[in-house]
C-alpha cells in the first residue's frame, strides 16, 4: 500500500459562509510533491482521475474527508481510499491536538 498525502487550497470567499472552488491539488509521496493547479484547467485528465480512483493508493491528510468531498462536488473527482491522519495521530500520541504537542515540546 502506498500512502499519498493529499491537500487542496482555495482562496477564501468574501462571504464567510460561501466557498470558492479549489485552486490547487497537492499530492505527495515520500519527499516528492506535485502541485496541480486546478484553477487553470478546463478538464481533469483521465490519468489523474484514474490515479485518484486507484485502490493501489491510500490518500491521507488532516481534513481529507472534507477535501475529498469538495473535489467531488467541484470537479467530479472520486477518491476511493482515504484516511484522516489527525484522528489516528491523536489516539497514538494521546494528546488533544497539535497545539498540545507544541506545548509538550
The tens place of each residue's pLDDT in the chain, 105 residues long, gives 788 999 999 887 777 666 688 999 999 999 999 999 998 998 999 999 999 999 899 888 888 888 999 999 999 999 987 776 655 555 554 545 444 444 444
Query: Domain residue spans in the chain?
Result: 2-104
pLDDT digits (tens, 9 = 90+) for 30-54: 999 999 999 899 899 999 999 999 9
Spell 44-73 as b/e; 16+ CB within 10 A means b: beeebeebbeeeebbbbbeebeebbebbee
CATH number of this structure's domain 2-104: 3.30.420.10
Helix (H) or strand (E) holding 73: helix 64-75
pTM greater than the 0.75 cutoff:
no
Amino acid at each position: 500500500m502506498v500512502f499519498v498525502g493529499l491537500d487542496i487550497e482555495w482562496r477564501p470567499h468574501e462571504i464567510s459562509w460561501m466557498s470558492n472552488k479549489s485552486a490547487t491539488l497537492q499530492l505527495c509521496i515520500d519527499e516528492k510533491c506535485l502541485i496541480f493547479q486546478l484553477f487553470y484547467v478546463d478538464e481533469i485528465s483521465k490519468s489523474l482521475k484514474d490515479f485518484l480512483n486507484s485502490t493501489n493508493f491510500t490518500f491521507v491528510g488532516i481534513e481529507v474527508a472534507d477535501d475529498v468531498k469538495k473535489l467531488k462536488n467541484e470537479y467530479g473527482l472520486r477518491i476511493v481510499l482515504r484516511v484522516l491522519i489527525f484522528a489516528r495521530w491523536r489516539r497514538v500520541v494521546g494528546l488533544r491536538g497539535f497545539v498540545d504537542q507544541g506545548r509538550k515540546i
